[in-house]
Homo-oligomer: A and B are copies of this chain.
Amino acid sequence: MIKVLLIFTLILSAFFTVSAQDFQTARRNLMPVPANIAWKNGRLPVTKNFTVAVSGKTDERLKIYIFRVMRRLEGRTIFEFSRDLSTDAANASLLIETISTGNATPKLGDDESYNLEISDKQAKLTAPTTVGAMRGLETFLQLLEGDKDGFYFPAVSISDKPRFPWRGLMIDSARHFQPVEVIKRNLDGMAAVKLNVLHWHLTEDQGFRVETKRLPELHLQGSDGDFYTQEQIREIIRYAADRGIRVMPEFDMPGHATAWVVSHPEIASAPGPYKIERLPGIFDPTLDPTNEKTYKLLEVFFAEMTALFPDAYMHIGGDENEGKQWNANPKIQAFMKKNNIKDNHALQTYFNKRILKFLQKGGKIMMGWDEIFQPDLPKEVVIHSWRGQKALAEAARQGFTGVLSNGYYIDLMFPASQHYVVDPLPADTTLNAEEQKRILGGEATMWSEWVSPETIDSRIWSRMPAIAERFWSPREVNDVEDMYRRLEVIGTQLEELGLTHRKNQPILLRRLANNQDISALQTLVSLIEPVKEYRRYQVRPQTMLSPLTGLIDAAQADANGARKFNKLVSNRNFSADSTKLKMIFSGWKNDAMTLSAQIEKAPALSEAKQLAADLQSLGGIGLEIVEMLETRKTSGAEWRDAKLKSLTEIAKQKAGLEFQVIESMKVLVNATSGN
């Protein structure tokens, strides 16, 4: 019986193995892919007479959202549309019907579903709430296509809703301050891919970025003058709400707290004085949980912040407190003994429970990283997991809700494909249905050790849409190749929102090249990526005050040229592709020689010297291989060993950068064996 079932399953999966072309047809350029799509015959043409009408409950937020969507449609089509809503619902090109406006300030669990029916005559978007309509409008914009007959929307029936209610991007404005316009354009990008939570990391060892009116010494002494005024914060919250996005602040404590104790050394667990931290890493300064002064100050602080931020959730961090100051402080040790607090974790829980009261007083639900997890906390507390699905599942099993960030650390420079396959609730979960509901979703984390306002978009938007799809779309949407295809298209659309993820790279390269042509440099940068995980500081140390204008800052995750090359090699049609390969390798070689000469005139590129030499070697090895392939000669083991050894040397990071073509080159070397 089991055998029969297995065979049946195999047959079924053979039926349902979808080719790339099929995905392209089935999913067009939609990202995240909607829950249900049924394509139809026909198309709704877009002319300059395109009109929009609304019916049902329409609030000002929706009208302004429609206005912006229409301007984006104008930008793409070069048509000028009427700026007034049509009063002729029956004949409007797009009719939007909302049943209720929903919450003016978005809340967790808001109904974000929508239906979109497009026929030859009309597109009809219906949604239970304004936010649902916003999500549907983004899908609508992604459906725009064009051919020789003009722009059109394909006929389709879409019924869509998110898989998870919590779909976030965390921006760390603390380590590197990000001005208001950076946050705003990122909120626009978030709305375009249906994200609904900005988790705003506002305090750190390296900076205290929120204005407090009651305790102004905190931001004045803890920020180098780079902080958000409360007016700016309200502006951001409003801007986010207008796009159906919640703003949840994080005030990290009791660790990651150096910037707090610059002005208030008396609440630290060791005597000061303290200075704003300039290095990356984990640091000792920790708030003193045994000192009533700490709670007095935090009570004032949270009273102010719970009033400033309307969202129901407030994040208190809680991560990476190594407790060194606690261990070394006899007063704290005595307190623990006296109060029967058995270890630092228990002490942190004691602290958290005190903080919880301030949050509850302000009407907030507490959220914190894995470390805050403690069975006797109220069950509504949200566990934010950097540790992984298991830790998260364990919390869910114990009745807590949770959000996954492990696997979505976009600061670590992994490719989109890697993030894409991480599921907050994997198919093999052992959680029961009720427990599964406690997995609220996920958040990508943009920790800002090494991003400036000039580069941050390139770190986020190269991969964020793939993660957004994981949070929104059905689990079964997981074809990596098709994800990359759509990512490219969405990347272009995101540029219309002012995001700089593509356009700032040439600027960095031009500056580095010291007014020389950058095409050779572009070839190099398309093949290399910054070192992954936390290696950057180890191999190329800088501080939080250092310029982020090096080649490593221009380089991006998912290096484009490498990805294309690797795909070509993976086809293993070496003979058929030998002309292509030859062109690529001579390109590498020539560009490497150009670049080596240019570096002599561009001191900021001096750290790329070895990379240029390596690129020349790669081109040289490649040309040798192509010649063998073309002449059908085979290589000897000695030759291959020598080349593989060279490749292993080339694979090593230089200036914090690594070639991404090494494995493919090894495949090619081995292909010359004739086997």
Q: Given A78-B549, A147-B601, A604-B77 in contact, is the A511-B495 Cβ separation under 8 Å? A: yes
Contact call B80/A545, Cβ cutoff below 8 A = yes
Q: How many copies does the complex hold?
A: 2
Contact call B511/A151, Cβ cutoff below 8 A = no
Mark the stretch among A55-63, A502-510, A624-632 that contacts chain B.
A502-510
Interface residue A394 (Cβ < 8 Å from any Cβ of B):
no
Minimum CB distance partner of A506 in chain B: B503
Q: Nearest-CB distance from A462 to chain B (Å)?
A: 15
Minimum CB distance partner of A547 in chain B: B74
Interface residue A146 (Cβ < 8 Å from any Cβ of B):
yes
Question: Which positions 59-89 of chain A face chain B at CB distance < 8 Å?
Answer: 71, 74-80, 83
Contact call A147/B600, Cβ cutoff below 8 A = yes
Q: Which of B75, B146, B506, B549 contacts A76 (CB 8 A)?
A: B549
Contact call A515/B489, Cβ cutoff below 8 A = yes
Chain A contact-residue range equals 35 or more
Q: Which of B29, B502, B506, B547 contacts A79 (CB 8 A)?
A: B547
CA distance A606 to B181 in the complex (A): 34
Taking CB atoms, residues of chain B closer than 8 Å to A545 are 80, 83
Q: Which of B150, B492, B500, B542 contacts A510 (CB 8 A)?
A: B492
Q: Nearest-CB distance from A654 to chain B (Å)?
A: 15
Q: Nearest-CB distance from A655 to chain B (Å)?
A: 10
CA distance A488 to B513 in the complex (A): 13
Contact call B148/A600, Cβ cutoff below 8 A = yes
Q: Given A76-B549, A495-B507, A504-B503 in contact, is the A146-B514 Cβ separation under 8 Å? A: yes
Taking CB atoms, residues of chain B closer than 8 Å to A546 are 74, 78, 80
Q: Given A78-B549, A507-B495 in contact, is the A146-B604 Cβ separation under 8 Å? A: yes
Contact call B147/A603, Cβ cutoff below 8 A = yes
Question: Which positions 547-563 of chain A face chain B at CB distance < 8 Å?
Answer: 547, 549-550
Interface residue A496 (Cβ < 8 Å from any Cβ of B):
yes
Contact call A503/B507, Cβ cutoff below 8 A = yes
Taking CB atoms, residues of chain B closer than 8 Å to A511 are 75-76, 492, 495-496
CA distance A545 to B146 in the complex (A): 23
CA distance A399 to B345 in the complex (A): 83
Q: Return the CB mask of A175-191 against B: 1 if under 8 Å, else 0.
A: 00000010000000000
Interface residue A602 (Cβ < 8 Å from any Cβ of B):
yes
Interface residue A646 (Cβ < 8 Å from any Cβ of B):
no
Contact call A542/B80, Cβ cutoff below 8 A = yes
Interface residue A24 (Cβ < 8 Å from any Cβ of B):
no
Q: Return the CB mask of A319-361 against B: 1 if under 8 Å, else 0.
A: 0000000000000000000000000000000000000000000
Question: Which positions 79-110 of chain A face chain B at CB distance < 8 Å?
Answer: 79-80, 83
Q: Nearest-CB distance from A183 to chain B (Å)?
A: 13
Interface residue A543 (Cβ < 8 Å from any Cβ of B):
yes
Q: Nearest-CB distance from A282 to chain B (Å)?
A: 22
Q: Nearest-CB distance from A287 to chain B (Å)?
A: 28
CA distance A549 to B181 in the complex (A): 22
Minimum CB distance partner of A600 in chain B: B148
CA distance A506 to B502 in the complex (A): 9
Candidate in A78, A496, A507 with the most chain B CB atoms within 10 angstroms: A78
Q: Nearest-CB distance from A185 to chain B (Å)?
A: 11
Question: Which positions 463-495 of chain A face chain B at CB distance < 8 Å?
Answer: 488-489, 492, 495
Q: Which of B75, B76, B515, B600 contacts A488 (CB 8 A)?
A: B515
Minimum CB distance partner of A278 in chain B: B80
Q: Nearest-CB distance from A199 to chain B (Å)?
A: 25
CA distance A147 to B597 in the complex (A): 11
Candidate in A80, A150, A151, A504 with the most chain B CB atoms within 10 angstroms: A80
CA distance A656 to B542 in the complex (A): 50
Minimum CB distance partner of A180 in chain B: B181
Taking CB atoms, residues of chain B closer than 8 Å to A75 are 511, 547, 549
Taking CB atoms, residues of chain B closer than 8 Å to A549 are 74-76, 78
Taking CB atoms, residues of chain B closer than 8 Å to A550 are 78
Please list 12 pairs of residues, one from A and one from B, whose beta carbons are closer than 8 Å in the complex, sorted by A's number.
A71-B547, A76-B511, A77-B603, A78-B547, A146-B601, A146-B603, A147-B603, A150-B606, A488-B515, A495-B510, A496-B507, A506-B506
Q: With contacts A147-B601, A503-B504 known, what are 11 further pairs, Cβ within 8 A?
A: A71-B547, A74-B546, A78-B549, A80-B543, A80-B546, A80-B547, A146-B514, A146-B601, A147-B603, A495-B510, A496-B511
**A binding-site residues for B, Cβ under 8 Å:** 29, 71, 74-80, 83, 146-151, 181, 488-489, 492, 495-496, 500, 502-504, 506-507, 510-511, 514-515, 542-543, 545-547, 549-550, 600-604, 606
List the 9 closest pairs (A to B, CB-CB), nearest first: A74-B547, A146-B603, A503-B503, A80-B546, A148-B600, A75-B549, A495-B507, A150-B603, A78-B550
